[in-house]
Amino acid sequence: MRRIDRWAGIPLTFILTQVLWVIRLFRSNQGQQPATRVLCLELSEMGSTILADPAMRKLRRELGCELYFAIFASNRGSLDLLQTVPCANIFTLRADSVRVLAIDTLKFLIWTRKNRIDTVLDLELFSRFTALLCGISGAKNRVGFYRFHNEGLYRGELLTHRVCYNPHIHIAKNFVALANALLEKEPQLPYSKTYVSDEEIVLPKLQFSEQERAGMHRLVAARASMYKRELHRLVLINPNASELLPQRRWMPERYVALADKILAAAEDVLVLITGAPAEHAEAEQMRLQVGSERCFNFAGATSLRELPLLYSIALCMVTNDSGPGHFSSITDMPTFVLFGPETPALYGSLGNSTPIYAGLACSPCVSAANHRKTSCMDNACLKAIAVDQVFAAVEPLLLTKTAGADRG
């Protein structure tokens, strides 16, 4: 995907720029068009759909617009968590092969016109493919991050609202800056000359009924037969991360050692190893290495949409910097997120989260400027995070006895 984005993306965005320039010659200048049907593009990161939610809600609140979203099919489930975008307004693209992606791109062209999309927000950081989707969408307003005087990252001149990406503020605030560009009455260069406060990136918290929580307790008991709601507390461990950046993974043997320490510190705690269905075998291997009857393989036990419900009854979670760290932010569960190639200053969870970050001189090594690629084959940034350091962060929760085991 990255090779295609570079070698095909550069000439294609250049060609499309010339085509749009010719089209503009034959159209009268109508100025900024009203934004009534706003499409957000975020294809490859599930956690970013959560981080973009404050920006989308602001657009709906301030403009009264109808929201649409385009995303890779494999990441579609992340939009179901907050349901800010109606299911009928979501378009998915498959990335199984170049041919399949090309077919879905043509379908996208038809879909945007059928739904009369007038505005596109490109939430990706300098992706040429999403720039192309913006250009062919037919939308009059095309908002995205622009390189200005930065070297590289060329993706044509396809935007009507060029927003300055700020690598010194949280990505959720950058997304709000995209929304603010649409709210401006007069053109700016660059957009968006606004202040984004911390209050603007607060996420809503999901609430669950007693019936829903009871159902999740039964599901846990089905996988962990010794589990009793009134007796046990649950600690979740999510040892996996996206295949897009495997350098974000803390070493499995350290998760095993951490689980051992947690189980030794609190006799009423059960450890659940979570993950996707495809990660079940890896989670089982880790469970066997822990070797405790109070450690269980929970990978694939829930759908993505059910994860917040699981989080609502758990004591806490330890996770790599990945989607679950953001999915938990719409609940009150304390989450400990291990950062390495990326920084919590830009990508930290917006919820009840504690980042654990070594802060080496080389970190973060991935950024918008390098398309989040790294040549590092030795993630010393995560190796520098010791088991005792993570356990010290979790231990106060283990020692605090609550009335009953159910946080929900």
pLDDT tens digits, one per residue of 9-40: 889 999 999 998 888 787 765 556 789 999 99
CA distance 315 to 317: 7
CA distance 133 to 120: 9
**Sheet containing 141-146: order of strands:** 90-93, 66-72, 37-41, 119-122, 141-146, 161-164
CA distance 50 to 156: 28
CB atoms within 10 A of CB 34: 12
346-373 average pLDDT score = 90
Q: Which of 251, 238, 244 is nearest to 380 (CA)?
A: 251
Three-state secondary-structure class, residue 338: strand
Q: What percentage of the chain carries pLDDT values higher than 70?
A: 95
The encoded tokens of residue 156 equal 């044509």
CA distance 370 to 364: 11
307-327 average pLDDT score = 96
**Sheet containing 316-320: order of strands:** 295-297, 269-273, 233-238, 316-320, 335-339, 353-357
- CA distances for 197 relative to 133, 167, 169, 194, 202, angstroms: 30, 16, 11, 10, 10
Residue 153 Rama label (left phi>0; alpha psi -120 to 50; beta): left
pLDDT at 326 over 90: yes
pLDDT tens digits, one per residue of 238-264: 998 767 778 889 999 999 999 999 999
pLDDT tens digits, one per residue of 96-148: 898 999 999 999 999 999 999 999 999 998 889 999 999 999 999 999 999 89
What is the model's pLDDT at position 152? 66
Q: Where are the alpha helices (DSSP H) in 125-198?
A: 128-136, 171-183
Residue 299 identity: A
pLDDT tens digits, one per residue of 280-307: 999 999 999 998 999 999 999 999 999 9
Architecture of domain 2-19+29-201: 3-Layer(aba) Sandwich (3.40)
CA 316 to chain centre: 20
pLDDT tens digits, one per residue of 185-228: 899 999 999 999 999 999 999 999 999 999 999 999 999 999 99
Query: Dihedrals φ, ψ of 98, to 5°?
Result: -65, -40
The encoded tokens of residue 14 equal 């250049």
- Per-domain residue ranges of the chain: 2-19+29-201, 210-398
Residue partners of 124: CB distance under 8 A and separation at least 6:
41, 42, 43, 44, 130, 144
pLDDT at 406 over 80: no
pLDDT tens digits, one per residue of 376-392: 889 999 999 999 999 99
CATH number for the segment(s) 210-398: 3.40.50.2000
Same fold, 2-19+29-201 and 210-398: yes
Residue 51, classified by CB atoms within 10 Å of its CB into exposed (0-12), middle (13-18) or buried (19+), is buried
What is the model's pLDDT at position 32? 64
CA distance 97 to 254: 36
Mean pLDDT value across the chain: 92
Beta bridge partners of 122: 41
Residue 251, classified by CB atoms within 10 Å of its CB into exposed (0-12), middle (13-18) or buried (19+), is middle
The encoded tokens of residue 404 equal 């009953």
